[in-house]
């Protein structure tokens, strides 16, 4: 009997402890930085639109729930004061209320969204006294290539940017369709073969942010992540200098090797990049990045 009681107590503890542990893990995962923890002006603006839209929609949802519960309580079977009207079918005042209030809400919500989304349009440059830094993004299988044409360097699976400075992205894909997304900075943008998409983002303060692929693209999709390091201007300049002093050259042969399908690629840098590489990848979309890499072996090598 004592053994049986002990088994019952263990099962009871397990029934309580395991669900609590699971709830704790889910809570911690929910607290991970994301779209509700903006680190730049675009993400902050998008969060404002989200909260405003939610508040506007609650103006319909909450009163509707309250009125529904009130009707159910008032017209309950035990309420003798409620008037039973089996032949009632229409009221002009109720119809006006039912249709006019949601219509006004939709009009107001549409106007708010229209203005906000145009102000945060991906291709619209950010207002700043600092000159934007150009970064060219290429989605590969299954990794991200970041080319800095002004600095003449490139990185894989690591995006380094100066904090407080607008970043002007050009985004394409050297393979199938993909999606570039840094939740804390905002604006998910699709990377498509043959397309040159534009995006402007900014990190307000130094920090590390999580970037990811938000569109299924094959076997290595789940591990197609990258880190975004926002550095002070002086540290960014030092990083550029260090990158130029080490690492291989990203020429035709380097692109051919890099474009092979691989997963869990460790971040690395290239001290130089073949001129016009990004534009070549975009222009040769119908041929494919492998053929583009082969065509670049014969010319425009950087040493």
Over residues 48-72, the pLDDT tens digits come to 999 999 998 898 899 899 999 999 9
Cis geometry, peptide bond prior to residue 142 (ω within 30 degrees of 0)? yes
For position 292, what pLDDT does the model report? 46
Over residues 70-128, the pLDDT tens digits come to 999 998 988 989 888 888 888 899 899 889 988 998 998 999 889 988 899 999 999 99
CB 184 within 8 A of CB 39: yes
Other C-beta atoms lying within 10 Å of the C-beta of residue 132? 17
Residue 229 in this model has a pLDDT that exceeds 70: yes
In the chain, % of residues over pLDDT 70: 83
Residue 177 in this model has a pLDDT that exceeds 70: yes
For position 12, what pLDDT does the model report? 46
For position 18, what pLDDT does the model report? 45
CA distance 251 to 279: 14
Instruction: pLDDT band for 11, please (50, 70, 90 cuts).
Output: low
For position 22, what pLDDT does the model report? 45
Helix or strand run (H / E) with residue 197 = strand 197-201
Helix or strand run (H / E) with residue 17 = helix 2-30
For position 155, what pLDDT does the model report? 97
User: Residues near 248 by Cβ (< 8 Å), separated by ≥ 6?
Assistant: 254, 270, 271
Over residues 230-268, the pLDDT tens digits come to 999 999 999 999 999 988 999 988 998 999 999 999 999
In the chain, % of residues over pLDDT 90: 63
For position 4, what pLDDT does the model report? 53
For position 150, what pLDDT does the model report? 96
CB 272 within 8 A of CB 302: yes
Query: Does 200 or 112 have the greater pLDDT score?
Result: 200
């Amino acid at each position: 009997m004592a053994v049986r009681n002990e088994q019952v107590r263990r099962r009871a503890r397990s029934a309580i402890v395991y669900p609590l542990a699971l709830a704790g893990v889910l809570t911690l995962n929910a607290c991970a930085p994301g779209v509700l923890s903006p680190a730049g002006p675009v993400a902050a603006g998008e969060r404002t639109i989200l909260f405003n839209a939610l508040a506007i929609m609650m103006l319909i949802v909450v009163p509707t729930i309250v009125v529904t519960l009130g009707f159910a309580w008032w017209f309950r079977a035990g309420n003798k004061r409620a008037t039973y009207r089996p032949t009632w079918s229409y009221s002009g005042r109720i119809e006006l209320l039912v249709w006019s209030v949601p219509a006004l809400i939709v009009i107001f919500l549409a106007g708010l969204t229209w203005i906000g989304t145009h102000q945060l349009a991906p291709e619209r440059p950010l207002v700043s006294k600092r000159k934007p830094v150009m970064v060219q993004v290429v989605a590969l299988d299954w990794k991200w290539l970041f080319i800095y044409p002004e600095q003449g360097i490139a990185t894989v699976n690591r995006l380094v940017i100066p904090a407080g400075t607008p970043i002007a992205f050009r985004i394409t894909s050297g393979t199938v369709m993909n999606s570039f997304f840094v939740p804390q900075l905002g604006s998910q943008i699709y990377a498509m073969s043959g397309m040159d998409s534009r995006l402007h983002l900014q990190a307000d303060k130094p920090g590390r942010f999580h970037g990811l692929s938000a569109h299924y693209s094959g076997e290595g999709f789940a591990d197609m992540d990258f880190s975004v390091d926002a550095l002070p201007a002086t540290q960014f300049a030092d990083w550029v200098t260090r990158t130029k002093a080490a690492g291989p050259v990203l020429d035709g042969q380097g692109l051919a090797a890099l474009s092979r399908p691989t997963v869990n690629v460790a971040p690395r840098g290239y001290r130089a990049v073949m001129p016009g590489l990004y534009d070549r990848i975009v222009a040769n979309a119908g041929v494919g990045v492998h053929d583009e890499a082969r065509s670049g072996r014969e010319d425009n090598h950087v040493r």
